[in-house]
Amino acid sequence: MGPSGTLTTLVALVAAVVLPIVCLRFGNGARSGRPAAPAATAQAPETPTPQTPAPDTAVAARRRGARRALRSNRFRVPLPGSRRVRHKMARLGLVMACQLSGVMFVGIVANDWGQFYTSWSEIFGLSSTTPLTSPTRHFGAPSALGAPESGTAAGPHYSGAPEIPPQAASWKATSWSAQDQWVRRGAIVSANITGATTGLSESVLVYLPPAYFHTGTAARALPILEVLTGYPGTATHLVSNLKYPDRLLADIQSGQARDMVMVMLQPAPTFPWDTECSNVPNGPQALTYFTTDLPNSISAQFGLSPTGYGAIGDSTGGYCAVKMSLVDPSRFTAGAMLSGYYAPATDRTTQGIFSTSTMRNQNNLVWLINHQPIPKVALLACTSRTEAGSDGFAVNQRLLAAVKAPMSADELLLPSGGHNFAAWGREIPYALVWLSAHLYAQTAPPPPVMG
């Protein structure tokens, strides 16, 4: 379970059930809690009647009234001020406690479902933020690469002269960097990409690295890396929260990675319908959009001659990134997933498209590895030992166990962490180094994307 644990969940549940009862009991007592005024002594009638209560009956009635008064004041809080003020303040405190316990219970249940935080230190920002620098284990075919973190990249050295392309005048560049910084930092450009073959459309953010802003053919011969959010998600979070451009730039400047064009977007061009990046029979062809339309459009719009294709994403985006490598291995030779999974989601957001065994199998990553020719691709699975659920540690182990040569896979494992930006922020720097090493290791450019 999450940071709350089973015990905390049970405590919150008890509080959510008991406190409203206390509130209700107190509220009723506060309204009727004023001790009953002693009955006025009735003057004895001149002529006693049979209806006059006997003395012992009157005493019993007074005792019952005293007991009722005692019960009604059982939950009274000793506060200064008048009786009315004390009652109102005590009732307000109990109502707030009821509401807080209800909110805590809902939050705990949601966290245990989504595994957003797996420890209290994560919630209070006390967990480690140090990035990981090396994989935990390797699976499948031996890696032909040296350790990326040892400095296999050549560093930021560009042969051409600095140049801002003329078409930049029509770009919708963001404020991430000023134009006079593009040669040193690169630029982020907002664009809308409509697929020529699928007709699907999505808004994307394109990071053009410093190498792009130089003269010569090498400035346009760069790998394209698709960066996908989870579902639902927005591309702006990839910049503001996960800081993909900042992290890649830092890796480039330190000599650990080389320049890559990053296309940042969500994995659902059919939003709010989540197709899990799948080609739906007689429906939207989302997978084709990511593997064909998007690379074609980005290459044409920015004059690129891509030297390789890769993908990375968190959660649903990670599932999509690995799927693209398994389905189109001739182009997408490397894929990385952060807290990803191998079986498509089958909730209301997918609208029943995986109701048949054929669709479930063809979009199950483990099934694809076991039932089709093993592609020569490289995968990176990033997760945390404490993350549970449908995209946690155990799920990643089942995917990695299926990997066999000529496929290869690396595991990047945090000792603890949840399904959140903080955990992924520790994994992204190495993942970008790893992707750069694999995409630049290709001896020949990928085949052209046909659309």
Give 73-132 pLDDT, tens digit per residue.
Answer: 554 555 555 667 767 777 777 777 776 766 655 555 444 444 445 444 545 554 557 878
Band of the pLDDT at 167, cuts 50, 70, 90? very high
User: Three-state SS for 183?
Assistant: helix
Q: What is the mean pLDDT of residues 378-397?
A: 91
Q: Is the model more confident about 97 or about 312? A: 312
Model pLDDT for residues 227-243, shown as the tens digit of each residue = 999 999 999 999 999 99
Q: Which of 24, 53, 51, 50 is nearest to 39 (CA)?
A: 53
Q: How confident is the model at residue 72 (pLDDT cuts 50, 70, 90)?
A: low
Q: Cβ distance 295 to 306 under 8 Å?
A: yes
DSSP structure string for 301-358:
HHT---S-EEEEEETHHHHHHHHHHHHSTTTEEEEEEES--SS---SGGGTTTT-SHH
Question: In this predicted structure, what is the pLDDT of residue 396?
Answer: 93
pLDDT, greater one: 35 or 64? 64
What is the C-alpha separation between 446 and 330, in angstroms, rounded?
Answer: 7
Angle value at C-alpha 146, between 142 and 149, nearest 5 degrees: 125
Q: Residues 423-451: pLDDT tens digits?
A: 999 999 999 999 999 999 875 566 666 55
Tell me what the mean pLDDT of segment 136-144 comes to: 90
Tokens 């927005």 belong to which residue?
234
CA dist 327 and 332 (Å) reads 9
Strand segments, DSSP code E, in 266-302 are: none
17-29 per-position pLDDT tens digit:
665 565 555 555 4
For the chain, percent of residues with pLDDT exceeding 70: 71
- CB-based burial of residue 287 (10 Å sphere; 0-12 exposed, 13-18 middle, 19+ buried)? buried
Q: Is the pTM of this model over 0.95?
A: no
pLDDT of the residue at 145: 72
pLDDT band at 297 (very low <50, low <70, confident <90, very high): very high
126-135, 263-272, 287-296: which range is least confident on average?
Answer: 126-135
Range with the largest mean pLDDT of 56-65, 92-101, 130-139, 396-405: 396-405
Calpha distance 396→392 (Å, rounded): 6
Q: Please tell me the predicted confidence (pLDDT) of residue 150.
A: 41
Task: State the pLDDT at residue 5.
Answer: 47
Nearest-angstrom CA–CA distance, 221 and 225: 13
Distance (Å, whole) CA 322 – CA 442: 18
More confident residue, 152 or 219: 219
Tokens of 117: 């935080």
